Structure formats: structure tokens, C-alpha cells
Amino acid sequence: MRAIRNALVGLAALIACVVCGIQAIRFQIESQKQKLESLRELTTLAPFRSVQSGRSSVTISDLALLEMLSDDSECIKNMTSVAFASVAFRPSDGARLSRLTNLVSIGFYDCDNVDLVITSCFGPQVHTIAFEAMLLSKNSVELLRDATSIDVTMNGRNIRED
């Protein structure tokens, strides 16, 4: 009888530990969701609202922000300068960048797949394109050198001086 009681107490303790473990996991998941939402607020929603309210420049470190900006007529009107920081471009991003028709200055810092969006940088208003901490394909460098109406720098040096 005593052995059964001890077994039941042990089983109850085990169940209590499992329930506590499940609750701890749920808490961790909810905490991570809140952190992700805070990060999304910092990298996309706050900059989007800022440009929508009249700010003319923005740094994009999450391509979801490019999607939001290029779909909003007020942002398209307001934006004259964009800097991309550590993003990996996708084929569809060139079309989105082309929608930002009032851009005068475009910067890229430590980005991947920039070759996918190079031709989208040749908008009618663009005067300056800067590349930092990255390499471009030979084809992209030649395209940029031929765009004589645009001041292009790579790692602080004029691309036409090489």
C-alpha cells in the first residue's frame, strides 16, 4: 500500500514538472513573439511611418520595408534617399526599387545580390550611388561606369577613377 502511495506521489510530482515545463516553454515562445514584433517595429513599421509622414530618407535593413514603401504613394512621393544595409536582394526587388521614382541618392552597405537591382538604380532623378564593404560583378561595374550622369563611388572612391 505504501509503495502504491509513493508511486502515485512520484507520478503526481512528475506530472507537475511536465506541466511546469510546458508553461515555461509557452512563456518562452510568447516572449520570442514579442521580441520579434518589437524588432519588426524597429526595422519596418517605424521607418515606414516616418517616411509616410514626410521624412525623405530611410535606411532599409529588412526588405519587407522596401515592399511597404514601394506600395505607398505618399512614401514614393516623399523619398529622395535610401540606404540598404546588409540585405540580400531578390529578383523582385528591382521592380520595387524602380517604383521609388523620386530617389536622388542610393547607398548599399554590405549587401548581397546587388547585381539583381543595379539597372533599377538608373532612375531619372538619381545623381549618386554609393557602395561600401562589398564587391560587384564586372558587368555591374561596367554598367555603372557607363552611367555618366550618376556619381558612383565604391568604398569611397569614384568608380571611374580606376
Size of the chain in residues: 162
CB under 8 Å, gap of 24 or more: what pairs does 101-104 form?
A: 101/76, 101/125, 102/76, 102/77, 102/78, 103/79, 104/80, 104/128
Buried b or exposed e, range 128-141, using 16+ CB within 10 angstroms: ebbbeeeebeeebb
Instruction: Report the percent of the chain where pLDDT is more than 70.
Output: 83
Q: Which residues contact 59 (CB under 8 A, 6 or more apart)?
A: 47, 82, 83, 84, 85
Looking at per-residue pLDDT, the higher value among 70 and 29 belongs to 70
For 110-145, give the secondary structure using H, E and C: CCECHHHCHHHHCCCCCCEEEEECCCCCHHHHHHHH
Topology of domain 2-161 in CATH is 3.80.10
Query: Which pLDDT does position 76 carry in this prediction?
Result: 96
Question: 3: pLDDT confidence band, cut at 50, 70 and 90?
Answer: confident
- φ and ψ of 74, to 5 deg: -65, -40
Condensed to tens digits (0 to 9), the pLDDT of residues 92-143 reads: 999 999 999 999 999 999 999 999 999 899 888 899 999 999 888 999 999 9
Contact call for residues 137 and 160 (beta carbons, < 8 A)? no
Label residue 37 by pLDDT band (50, 70, 90): low
Say what the pLDDT of residue 52 is: 93
Report the mean per-residue pLDDT for the chain: 86
What's the predicted TM-score (pTM) here?
0.77
